[in-house]
């Protein structure tokens, strides 16, 4: 390649530079103030021609770039003049668009349309879309303060005379509604920015520097809504009737119900977001009004549902291209706003959830609070981000539980409800001061108190973290549960030390048991119980989130079977200590103690039955799958780059660092699931028994009273969950019966491995012939079929897993 | 990779403020980060001007075929031209 002479090069550059400098004054258009500002920046030279020359010298694929600037950065840039990415591009469709004038008078049905559209935007925002693509697209929201009577009369007095549409439809009804929405959104925004949920994942809080009238007082918005309602009843409705339009009554009702809904929702939000959680009953009242308005009852006048499609579009009132005027680093995503019906359903769901949350401030017990959160987060219609954040604020904020209890109290209750430790453990310091001895504080008591406080201090973080996790979205829950496992493990370790010290102080006498003397370990038992629940939920959530493949089910359910078994034993042990008969002889206030004891017993028993039911289902499932593997109806995929032991290690890796329960190895798994000397038939019969016993356990659980199982707040969800499990059991029992019948009745084709291999290469016809030739090998009816070799197959059927009733447990059928 | 005096000169323009006019008469004002053979240019911390309307657009890639004019901040500007 020839290089141009240095002098020539210089000359050229100088010429181009000179040229650029000469015409630089022409660059900024004179009529453009913004561009002129640039003149304060350094002078520019035109390098257009130079670039043409220099890029000719580039090799294909050559880049000139900053060292720090890589391909990755380049990929994240927005391409200009690409209609999909460049929001600043003027499209042909935009050219003929008239600017929207919000000061045009619009008809009541148009007002209705704007209201509904705003509502759709609001709910779409709640469902996770950005403000810039939802509420901020509304011209009325952006310019609501311009809706003033003076501006209207100046502008279009002629129009008023012509159309006779009262100006109040816009400046009162629409304005109050818009401001009502703005205030609701502000209150929601305040809640969402507390950081309880994942921003951008659950919710978008970016306001893009646009005000949603933060300074406009809530009370003012309420007053406007009231005024609008009054005006509508006294004047607006008359006007609508006089026009004699179709469905005038419907329109009046529609407007009325929307104003009322907005007012009630705003009031509810205002009560809910008070720093002291004492106005929940008022909030609940307003929430129920909202809910009534959304219900289908068409008969008693005011409701939203019947009036959804009455609105008439106002062209240009919503501008989806508003995004281009906002400070945004990313191009807008293609989004789909919800439909009106979906919005109504969403809001209904949200209101119901909020009402439930308002209930829990009436604290019953620590366990019922925890259970509420567990079942709340597991709801099948996923609670929206706002209600989850609100739950978190309600349960734990500013170091208080439900705005009134200390965390100490909560942990005390939680431990007492399960393991019922000696009364002296959690006696507070003031109680010690006024105890029997008066002036003299027992040295032992002081020691105990100190130990207990150490324990509680250690437990605060894991427990509150757990509460926080339960308010996250499902995927995050699992991820974060894995993260906090080690905290609980550490806590358990510490609790065991404290328990041992406490034992020596109170001179606890161990209970004799088969495995030697057994101490009660009140505190660590509680920790272990909670930890085991975490371990189980992590695996169960894996099913719910669809993280496991079919071929991993055996492994996972097998492991769950093990953990649930450990949990059951642990509860059994706790049960034994809680019902220790010697305890009562020592206690002074027998009545009080015995009530605590009996409630602990009923909680433990219900937990035991639940654990057992789950264990039975898990066992039934993995046994069925193993049996179907034996019969060849289920063949795990042969994956070339898959190593089962590595996958096993990977699936349970979060349990490896834990002190307890003992981790099982892949070898354990292989050894216990090989089951060579059990026939598929027997195995299936065992599974059948498992499902049957799970079924009866669940039926027992359904009969337990809510306060006994500490499901006071979430009994409906708990019952639903149990019923779903029950359905899983029943469906599996039916399916197993069918499979077992096929063993008995239908001829079983026995194809040896070699045969299978050969038939695979043959055509279908050959395959069919093969089957017809073999019916003689059918086992005799009365004799137990000898199905020990893995080559036996129930004809043409493949195992099918459907999580149709419960997200954690599949129904296994042959299809 | 080819490395001619011109390319060296071009490299010296990197990280300077640059002003690009595109075919729909918008002007982009940002830091010159990267260019390829087809004059596709990447600017960082870019502001977009359309007449009086100004907005921040951040990191953008402007395809060479849409570029009407490119200007670069002139560090060597001697007093005689001012």
Helix (H) and strand (E) counts in chain A: 31, 12
Cβ contacts of A7-13, under 8 Å, gap ≥ 24: A9/B5, A9/B6, A13/A50, A13/B9
Could A63 and B72 be called an inter-chain contact, meaning their C-beta atoms sit closer than 8 Å?
A: no
Region at B58 (left for phi over 0; alpha for psi -120 to 50; beta for the rest): left
Q: Could you tell me if residue A232 is inside a domain?
A: yes
Distance in angstroms (rounded) separating the CA atoms of residues A127 and A778: 59
Q: What is the domain count for chain B?
A: 1
Could A76 and B36 be called an inter-chain contact, meaning their C-beta atoms sit closer than 8 Å?
A: no
Q: Could you tell me if residue B79 is inside a domain?
A: no
Q: What pLDDT, on the 0 to 100 scale, is given for residue B63?
A: 93
Q: Could you tell me if residue B80 is inside a domain?
A: no
Q: Could you tell me if residue B62 is inside a domain?
A: yes
Distance in angstroms (rounded) separating the CA atoms of residues B74 and B82: 12
Of A435, A470, A500, the one marking the end of a domain is: A500
Q: What pLDDT, on the 0 to 100 scale, is given for residue A87?
A: 73
> Do both A246 and A375 map to the same domain?
no
What is the 3-class SS of A302-345, one letter each residue? CCCHHHCCCCCCCCCCECHHHHHHCCCCCCCCCCCCCCHHHHHH
Q: Could you tell me if residue A460 is inside a domain?
A: yes
Structure tokens at A501: 């010290």
Could A46 and B70 be called an inter-chain contact, meaning their C-beta atoms sit closer than 8 Å?
A: yes
Q: Are strands A511-513 and A516-518 parallel, antiparallel or unpaired?
A: antiparallel
The pLDDT of residue B22 is above 80: yes
Q: What pLDDT, on the 0 to 100 scale, is given for residue A786?
A: 44
- Please indicate if any CB of chain B lies within 8 Å of the CB of A38: yes
Q: What pLDDT, on the 0 to 100 scale, is given for residue A238?
A: 87
> Do both A231 and A331 map to the same domain?
yes
Q: Could you tell me if residue B82 is inside a domain?
A: no
Could B34 and A45 be called an inter-chain contact, meaning their C-beta atoms sit closer than 8 Å?
A: no
> Do both A330 and A453 map to the same domain?
no
Distance in angstroms (rounded) separating the CA atoms of residues A721 and A728: 11
Structure tokens at A298: 């068409």
Residue A409: count of CB within 10 angstroms of its CB: 17
Q: What pLDDT, on the 0 to 100 scale, is given for residue A153?
A: 58
Q: Which helix (H) or strand (E) holds A191?
A: helix A175-192
Q: Could you tell me if residue A494 is inside a domain?
A: yes
Q: Could you tell me if residue A15 is inside a domain?
A: yes
Interface probe, candidates B21, B33, B54, chain A, greatest A C-beta count within 10 A: B33
Neighbour-count burial of A146, counting CB atoms closer than 10 A to its CB (0-12 exposed, 13-18 middle, 19+ buried): middle
Chain B contact set for A1 (CB, 8 A)? 2, 4
Secondary structure letter of residue A5 according to DSSP: P
Q: Could you tell me if residue B68 is inside a domain?
A: yes
Q: Distance (Å) from the C-alpha of residue A322 to the closest C-alpha of chain B?
A: 12
Question: Which positions ≥6 away from B78 have C-beta within 8 Å?
Answer: none
Q: For residues A813 and A735, is the Cβ–Cβ distance under 8 A?
A: yes
Q: Distance (Å) from the C-alpha of residue A170 to the closest C-alpha of chain B?
A: 30
Q: For residues A495 and A527, is the Cβ–Cβ distance under 8 A?
A: yes
Q: Which domain holds residue A195?
A: 108-354
Q: Which domain holds residue B34?
A: 5-74
Nearest to B2 among A4, A59, A325 (CB): A59
Nearest to B27 among A35, A62, A74 (CB): A35
Q: For residues A600 and A420, is the Cβ–Cβ distance under 8 A?
A: yes
Residues in chain A: 815
> Do both A385 and A346 map to the same domain?
no
| Nearest alpha carbon to residue A404 among A278, A513, A262, A217 | A278
| Nearest alpha carbon to residue A479 among A654, A235, A614 | A654
Q: Could you tell me if residue A230 is inside a domain?
A: yes
What is the 3-class SS of A431-496, one letter each residue? HHHCCCCCCCCCHHHHHHHHHHHHHHHHHHHHHHHHHHHHCCCHHHHHHHHHHHHHHHHHHHHHHH
Longest dimension (CA), chain B: 42
| Nearest alpha carbon to residue A108 among A262, A243, A260 | A243
Residues 18-37 in B contacting A (C-alpha not used; CB under 8 Å): 18-19, 22-24, 26-29, 33-37
Could A78 and B60 be called an inter-chain contact, meaning their C-beta atoms sit closer than 8 Å?
A: yes
- The rounded average pLDDT for each run of 10 residues, N- to C-terminus, in chain A (815 residues) is 48 48 42 49 82 88 86 85 78 72 85 93 93 90 87 53 74 93 94 87 87 91 94 89 80 90 94 82 92 71 69 85 68 81 91 92 90 92 91 89 89 90 73 49 80 92 94 93 94 94 85 81 93 95 93 93 95 89 58 76 92 95 91 84 88 89 90 84 91 94 88 90 95 92 61 38 38 35 42 69 93 89
- Please indicate if any CB of chain A lies within 8 Å of the CB of B63: yes
Distance in angstroms (rounded) separating the CA atoms of residues A135 and A130: 9
Nearest to B34 among A41, A47, A63 (CB): A63
Nearest to B57 among A9, A46, A78 (CB): A78
Q: For residues A141 and A135, is the Cβ–Cβ distance under 8 A?
A: yes
Q: What pLDDT, on the 0 to 100 scale, is given for residue A717?
A: 92
Integer CA distances (angstroms), A744 to A736, A752, A770, A774, in order: 12, 20, 21, 17
Interface probe, candidates B57, B66, B78, chain A, greatest A C-beta count within 10 A: B57
Structure tokens at A714: 């979430």
| Nearest alpha carbon to residue A269 among A350, A195, A174 | A350
Structure tokens at A316: 């240009």
Q: What is the domain count for chain A?
A: 3
Alpha helices in A641-800 (DSSP H): 644-651, 666-674, 680-703, 715-744, 753-761, 764-773
Integer CA distances (angstroms), B1 to A57, A59, B4, B33, B35, in order: 10, 7, 10, 18, 14
The CATH number linked to B58 is 2.30.30.100
Chain A contact set for B53 (CB, 8 A)? 325
- Please indicate if any CB of chain A lies within 8 Å of the CB of B59: yes
Helix (H, G, I), strand (E, B) or coil at A379: coil
Q: For residues A422 and A448, is the Cβ–Cβ distance under 8 A?
A: no
Structure tokens at A528: 């272990």
Distance in angstroms (rounded) separating the CA atoms of residues A253 and A260: 10
Of A58, A77, A96, the one marking the end of a domain is: A77
Distance in angstroms (rounded) separating the CA atoms of residues A416 and A130: 46
Could B5 and A80 be called an inter-chain contact, meaning their C-beta atoms sit closer than 8 Å?
A: no
Chain A contact set for B14 (CB, 8 A)? 64-66
Q: What pLDDT, on the 0 to 100 scale, is given for residue A11?
A: 53
- Please indicate if any CB of chain B lies within 8 Å of the CB of A30: no
Q: For residues A180 and A263, is the Cβ–Cβ distance under 8 A?
A: yes
Q: Could you tell me if residue A768 is inside a domain?
A: no
> Do both A341 and A367 map to the same domain?
no
| Nearest alpha carbon to residue A391 among A202, A538, A535, A208 | A202
Could A324 and B73 be called an inter-chain contact, meaning their C-beta atoms sit closer than 8 Å?
A: no
Could A21 and B74 be called an inter-chain contact, meaning their C-beta atoms sit closer than 8 Å?
A: yes
CA B34 to chain centre: 9
Interface probe, candidates A16, A80, A95, chain B, greatest B C-beta count within 10 A: A80
Q: What pLDDT, on the 0 to 100 scale, is given for residue A585?
A: 53
Of A77, A97, A117, the one marking the end of a domain is: A77
Report CA torsion sign: A719, A723, A729, A730. Answer: positive
List A79's β-bridge partners, or say none.
B61
Direct distance between the N- and C-terminal alpha carbons of chain B, in angstroms, rounded to an integer: 38
Integer CA distances (angstroms), A684 to A272, A510, A639, A731, in order: 54, 43, 27, 14
> What one-character-per-residue DSSP string does A56-90 give?
HHSPTT-EEE-TT--HHHHHTSEETT-TTT-TTPP
Distance in angstroms (rounded) separating the CA atoms of residues A117 and A468: 34
């Amino acid at each position: 390649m020839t290089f141009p002479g240095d002098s020539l090069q210089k000359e050229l550059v100088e010429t181009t530079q000179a040229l650029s400098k000469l015409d630089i004054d022409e660059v900024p258009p004179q009529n453009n103030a913004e561009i002129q500002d640039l003149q304060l920046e350094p002078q520019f030279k035109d390098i257009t021609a130079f670039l043409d020359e220099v890029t000719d010298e580039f090799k294909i694929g050559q880049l000139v770039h900053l060292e720090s600037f890589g391909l990755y950065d380049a990929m994240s840039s927005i391409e200009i003049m690409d209609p999909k990415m460049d929001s600043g591009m003027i499209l042909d469709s935009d050219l003929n668009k008239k600017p929207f004038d919000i000061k045009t008078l619009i008809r009541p049905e148009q007002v209705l349309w704007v209201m509904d559209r705003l509502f759709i935007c609001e709910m779409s925002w709640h469902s996770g879309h950005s403000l810039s693509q939802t509420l901020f697209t509304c011209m009325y929201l952006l310019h609501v303060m311009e809706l003033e009577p003076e501006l209207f009369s100046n502008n279009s007095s002629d129009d008023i005379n012509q159309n006779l549409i009262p100006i109040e439809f816009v400046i009162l009804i629409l304005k109050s509604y818009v401001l009502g929405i703005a205030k609701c959104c502000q209150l929601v925004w305040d809640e969402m920015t507390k950081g309880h949920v994942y921003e951008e994942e659950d919710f978008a809080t970016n306001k893009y520097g646009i005000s949603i009238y933060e300074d406009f007082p809530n009370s003012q918005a309420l007053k406007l809504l009231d005024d609008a309602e009054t005006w509508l009843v006294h004047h607006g409705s008359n006007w609508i009737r006089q026009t004699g339009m179709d469905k005038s009554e419907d329109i009046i009702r529609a407007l009325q119900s929307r104003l009322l809904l907005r007012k009630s929702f705003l009031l509810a939000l205002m009560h809910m977001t008070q720093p002291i959680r004492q106005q929940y009953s008022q909030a609940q009242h307003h929430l129920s009004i909202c809910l009534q308005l959304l219900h289908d009852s068409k008969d008693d006048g005011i409701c939203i549902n019947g009036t959804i499609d009455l609105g008439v579009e106002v062209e240009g009132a919503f501008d989806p291209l508003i995004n281009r005027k906002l400070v945004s680093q990313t191009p807008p995503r293609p989004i789909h706003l919800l439909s009106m019906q979906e919005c109504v359903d969403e809001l209904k769901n949200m209101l119901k959830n909020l009402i439930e949350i308002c209930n829990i401030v009436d604290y019953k017990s620590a366990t019922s609070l925890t259970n509420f959160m567990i079942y709340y987060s597991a709801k099948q219609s996923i609670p929206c981000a706002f209600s989850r954040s609100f739950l978190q604020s309600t349960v734990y904020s500013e170091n208080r539980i439900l705005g009134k209890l200390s965390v100490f109290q909560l942990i005390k209750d939680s431990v007492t409800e399960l393991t019922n430790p000696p009364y002296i453990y959690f006696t507070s310091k003031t109680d010690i001061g006024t105890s029997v001895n008066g002036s003299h504080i027992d040295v032992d008591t002081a020691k105990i108190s100190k130990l207990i406080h150490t324990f509680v201090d250690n437990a605060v973080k894991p427990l509150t973290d757990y509460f926080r996790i339960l308010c996250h979205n499902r995927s995050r829950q699992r991820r974060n549960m894995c993260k906090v496992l080690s905290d609980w493990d550490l806590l358990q370790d510490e609790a065991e030390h404290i328990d041992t010290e406490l034992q020596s102080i109170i001179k606890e006498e161990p209970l004799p048991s088969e495995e030697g003397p057994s101490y009660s370990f009140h505190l660590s038992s509680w920790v272990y119980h909670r930890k085991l629940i975490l371990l189980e939920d992590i695996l169960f959530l894996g099913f719910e989130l669809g993280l496991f493949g079919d071929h991993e089910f055996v492994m996972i359910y097998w492991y769950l079977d093990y953990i649930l078994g450990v949990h059951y034993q642990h509860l059994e042990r706790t049960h034994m200590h809680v019902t220790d008969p010697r305890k009562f002889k020592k206690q002074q206030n027998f009545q009080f103690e015995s009530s605590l004891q009996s409630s602990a017993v009923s909680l433990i028993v219900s937990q035991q039955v639940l654990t057992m039911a789950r264990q039975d289902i898990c066992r039934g499932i993995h046994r069925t799958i193993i049996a179907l593997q034996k019969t060849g109806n289920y063949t795990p995929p042969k994956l070339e780059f898959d190593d089962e032991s590595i996958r096993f290690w990977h699936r349970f890796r979060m349990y490896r660092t834990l002190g307890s329960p003992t981790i099982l190895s892949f070898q354990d798994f292989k050894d216990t699931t090989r089951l060579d000397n059990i026939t598929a038939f027997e195995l299936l019969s065992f599974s059948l028994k498992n499902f049957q016993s799970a079924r009866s356990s669940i039926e027992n659980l359904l009969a337990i009273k809510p306060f006994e199982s500490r499901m006071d707040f979430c009994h409906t969800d708990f019952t639903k969950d149990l019923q779903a499990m029950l359905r899983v059991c029943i469906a599996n029992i039916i399916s197993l019966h069918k499979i077992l019948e096929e063993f008995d009745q239908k001829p079983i084709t026995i194809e040896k491995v070699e045969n299978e291999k050969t038939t695979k290469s043959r055509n279908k016809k050959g395959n069919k012939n093969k089957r017809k030739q073999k019916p003689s090998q059918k086992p005799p009816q009365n004799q137990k079929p000898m199905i020990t070799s893995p080559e036996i197959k129930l004809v043409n059927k493949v195992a099918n897993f459907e999580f149709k009733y419960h997200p954690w447990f599949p129904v296994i059928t042959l299809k | 990779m080819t490395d001619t005096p011109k390319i060296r000169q071009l490299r010296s323009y990197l990280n300077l403020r640059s002003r690009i006019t595109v075919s729909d008469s918008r002007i982009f004002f940002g830091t010159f980060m990267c260019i390829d053979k087809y004059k596709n240019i990447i600017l960082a911390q870019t502001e977009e001007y359309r007449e009086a309307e100004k907005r921040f657009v951040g990191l953008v890639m402007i395809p060479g075929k849409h570029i009407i004019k490119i200007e670069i901040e002139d560090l060597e500007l001697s007093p005689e031209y001012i």
